[in-house]
Structure 1
Amino acid sequence: MKAKSSFSLKDQLFNSDKVSYLTTLIVAVYPHFAQQTFHQDVVSAFSKLELKERIAHIAVCLHKHLPDDYQDALVILLQSLPPELDSNKTDDDFGDFIFAPYSLYVALYGCRADYVDLSLKALKEITKRFSAEDAVRYFINTFSDETLGFLSDCAVDDNYHVRRWACEGTRPKLPWAQKLTIDYKRSLPILDILYRDKTRYVTRSVANHLNDISKVDPSLVIATLKKWINDQNQTEQEMAFITQHALRTLTKQGHQEALTLIGFGTKPDITITNFSTSTPQVKVGDAFEFSFDMCSNRSQKLLVDYLMYFASDGKKQSQKVFKLKQLELKKGEAITLFKKHPMRLMTTRRLILGEHKIVLQVNGQAFGALTFNLVEA
């Protein structure tokens, strides 16, 4: 049984007020724009559409209400853009989702041989307000050489949103985006530039990109990270962040080379006792709680995670590894660890009522399991 959620991300990001804001920007540079008709066309369909469908719907409505000539329409859209995102920030500045239809408009109506250069330059401007990472994939798949060359130049752009876009747009497994048809290795020259970046927003994207590749080619990722570490073109602290974040999937899987590269490659020599839960039954919205005692039988570094198997609705069982703690213990040293795991409704993961299980993992090795039952609030 699926737990019900009252929060709607699609309604928060795409609603009547957001569409009004968009129309106000367009009318300011194109007075002939049918503001009320466009607003009605867009909003009247929202109740039937999911988030990505709303983006596509707005893009189609823009095409309907803007001049038929693509180049004329594009000039209007670019002139209507608000100021660029604050270039003084260094992280988590995603911009406003309401401009996602702009980039999709470019992808739907400007992904043609005679418009490639014009369209890519337009996406570069749009991505300074909201990332055009999905839209550029239309061009990567259709005009790979031209687009990868353009994105390579973007990797050294002064604007960190543009640099990040070069990385996100070429990610092999970018969430909510169409699949790329090019070989994932073709994006490595872009990563070789961007891993040196001084902005965490960019280096996190590089790490996410490598994490995508690690799911199909672990050896390539480990070799790439080793090369970057040896080249010393990034600070030790930031390189450590990139390495650990890029290898998170492999370390959760207990991949020996990955664990070794982040300093947790040795098999743990520990004793686990009192692994138990005080919440064998959890209501939706509450937290599952567990604790255990751990004694180190020698001096060692330990990476403690737990793997959660979510209740199944008859399909493939969902599972996810969660970080708990990194620590270094001396021989004979003991520690008690306690964790509260919220079982909240989220837009990114649905909850199924029923039995859940966690498996404790230390340096990728399993050390016991617990179950709990998720019930309605």
Structure 2
Amino acid sequence: MALMKDKLAEREIGLIAGLLKQAWPAFNADGFIRMAEDELDQRELKDRVRHIIAAMQYHLPDDFVETVEILQRLPALWPHSLDDEAASFSEFAGWPLVDFVAVAGIDQPEIALPLLGELTGLFSAEFAIRSFIAADWPLTLSFLQQWQQSDNHHQRRLVSEGTRPRLPWGERLPAFIDDPTPVLGLLESMVDDSSETVRRSVANNLNDIGKDHPGRVTAFLKPFSDVHDDSTNKTANEKTDKNASKQRQRLVRHALRSLIKAGDTDALALIGVRADVSVQLSGFNGSESVCLGDVLAFDFQLKSTAEEAQMLVIDFAIHFVKANGTTSAKVFKLKTLELAAGKTLSVTKKHLLKPITTRVYYPGLHRLEIFVNGKSYMQHAFDLVI
């Protein structure tokens, strides 16, 4: 299985060296490559980023102003064409180039931040900008507000992704974990962004905030969750566009996904789902033992005991064994549907338990748990064999 760290290896270092040489003919490309590739195999991904940045610092001018002029030339040189072989592996090559700005330019944010805005299309500056948020929030905010209005969707996404309080792989932003008010102020005007990539980033940010402030997120999303088109007393320009309504629905659901899985009643209400459903679960069958790399198979029936149709959000959780013997639950989506009064739904699932880079598996007794609208309906133990 290919390792994530191999997305930043010798060929990416060669690409970085070649581009910097084009941007600055005096650049010692061979010396940079030797330094950047030193003990590369022993380094994990983020350590590779830091190591390549150190090699850049050694070989680029000490004067950050001069280095900014060099890096500003990179977007025009960057391989974007589908016909360019380098474009197929250029994405991770941009990571150390962008994060270099946060290392070398942290004391000169007035010129470093505009550079991040120019480079974020090469590799998202969502990691790099967090250093500036922590060091000088008022100045960084002024650039974020400019990028909100940018025609460049990469810059707009930097606003929503760079301010995520709990960005995976990124430094946490404790101030925003404690009080997300500044972030919510930025996101409010981005809910209906024209880019699906930006809207999904907005939803991810709200999902982060909801882990610490569920009430703030549901209150924020409530005005956007009413997607019916009441045309009374509205001009043609004011009427809700059907596509925009669908976009808002997707954003709201994605933003609330963790709260929905947790059975938050306010979150469920925003997507038209009641917490107190009337169903009976029966006929459960599930794997008793699963080898890593095989599927966990299970099936069951849900019968509605209500006198009217009900919206159901059906999830399942696997309680994975940790190194210390305790367990940690990971929730997965199963189905979201409307079940008619008195009807029975058959549910079948095969979940592949495959090795992934973000989880370490441990053998032993695991638990499968079934949820309907956030309420636990049953648990089943199975043995994971490694």
TM-score, length basis structure 2: 0.89
Matched letter for residue 333 of structure 2: K
- 2:130 match: 137
Q: Percent identity?
A: 34
Question: Is the aligned partner of 1:223 residue 2:219?
Answer: yes
Assess if the C-alpha contact under 8 Å between 1:141 and 1:181 holds in 2. no
Question: Is the aligned partner of 1:286 residue 2:281?
Answer: no
Q: CA deviation at 1:198?
A: 1.8
Matched letter for residue 270 of structure 2: L
Question: How far apart, CA to CA, are the structure 1 residues paired with 2:89 and 2:270?
Answer: 31
**Closer/same/farther in 2, CA of residues 181 and 356 from structure 1, 3 Å limit:** closer
1:140-219 aligned at under 5 Å gives the runs 140-183=133-176, 184-219=180-215
Assess if the C-alpha contact under 8 Å between 2:20 and 2:27 holds in 1. yes
- 1:272 match: 281
- 2:373 match: 363
CA deviations 1:61-102 (Å, max 9, x no partner) are 10001111111122222213444869xxxxxx9970111111
Question: How far apart, CA to CA, are the structure 2 residues paired with 1:36 and 1:181?
Answer: 41
Question: Is the aligned partner of 1:237 residue 2:246?
Answer: yes
The 10-residue stretch of structure 1 (136-145 or 220-229) with the greater mean CA deviation from structure 2: 220-229
Question: How far apart, CA to CA, are the structure 2 residues paired with 1:161 and 1:172?
Answer: 19
- 2:106 match: 111
TM-score, length basis structure 1: 0.91
Question: How far apart, CA to CA, are the structure 2 residues paired with 1:28 and 1:85?
Answer: 16
Assess if the C-alpha contact under 8 Å between 1:301 and 1:328 holds in 2. yes
Question: Is the aligned partner of 1:27 residue 2:21?
Answer: yes
Question: How far apart, CA to CA, are the structure 2 residues paired with 1:170 and 1:204?
Answer: 14
1:69-88 aligned at under 5 Å gives the runs 69-81=63-75, 82-83=77-78
- What is the count of residue pairs matched by the alignment? 361
Matched letter for residue 39 of structure 1: I
- 2:360 match: 350
- 2:338 match: 328
CA deviations 1:210-266 (Å, max 9, x no partner) are 111111111111110013346969821111111111111111111111111111124
Assess if the C-alpha contact under 8 Å between 2:106 and 2:132 holds in 1. yes
SS in 1 for 2:327: coil
The 10-residue stretch of structure 1 (39-48 or 222-231) with the greater mean CA deviation from structure 2: 222-231
**Closer/same/farther in 2, CA of residues 229 and 291 from structure 1, 3 Å limit:** closer
**Closer/same/farther in 2, CA of residues 302 and 94 from structure 1, 3 Å limit:** farther
**Closer/same/farther in 2, CA of residues 117 and 9 from structure 1, 3 Å limit:** same
Assess if the C-alpha contact under 8 Å between 2:12 and 2:90 holds in 1. no
SS in 2 for 1:324: strand
- 1:89 match: none
Question: How far apart, CA to CA, are the structure 1 residues paired with 2:290 and 2:205?
Answer: 36
**Closer/same/farther in 2, CA of residues 159 and 328 from structure 1, 3 Å limit:** same
Q: CA deviation at 1:316?
A: 4.9
Residue from 29, 32, 52 that aligns with 2:46: 52
Matched letter for residue 289 of structure 2: Q
Q: CA deviation at 1:29?
A: 2.2
SS in 1 for 2:175: coil
The 10-residue stretch of structure 1 (179-188 or 300-309) with the greater mean CA deviation from structure 2: 179-188
Question: How far apart, CA to CA, are the structure 2 residues paired with 1:181 and 1:85?
Answer: 36
Structure 1, unpaired ranges of 5+? 1-5, 87-92
Q: CA deviation at 1:317?
A: 2.3
Assess if the C-alpha contact under 8 Å between 1:66 and 1:73 holds in 2. yes
- 1:90 match: none
**Closer/same/farther in 2, CA of residues 85 and 21 from structure 1, 3 Å limit:** closer
Assess if the C-alpha contact under 8 Å between 1:308 and 1:319 holds in 2. yes
SS in 2 for 1:178: coil
- 1:3 match: none
Assess if the C-alpha contact under 8 Å between 2:224 and 2:252 holds in 1. no
Q: CA deviation at 1:182?
A: 3.3
Question: How far apart, CA to CA, are the structure 1 residues paired with 2:79 and 2:132?
Answer: 23
Matched letter for residue 61 of structure 1: A
SS in 2 for 1:182: helix
Assess if the C-alpha contact under 8 Å between 2:225 and 2:271 holds in 1. no
Assess if the C-alpha contact under 8 Å between 2:19 and 2:78 holds in 1. no
CA deviations 1:344-377 (Å, max 9, x no partner) are 111122222222111100011111111211113x
Assess if the C-alpha contact under 8 Å between 2:304 and 2:340 holds in 1. yes
Assess if the C-alpha contact under 8 Å between 1:84 and 1:129 holds in 2. no
The 10-residue stretch of structure 1 (229-238 or 46-55) with the greater mean CA deviation from structure 2: 229-238
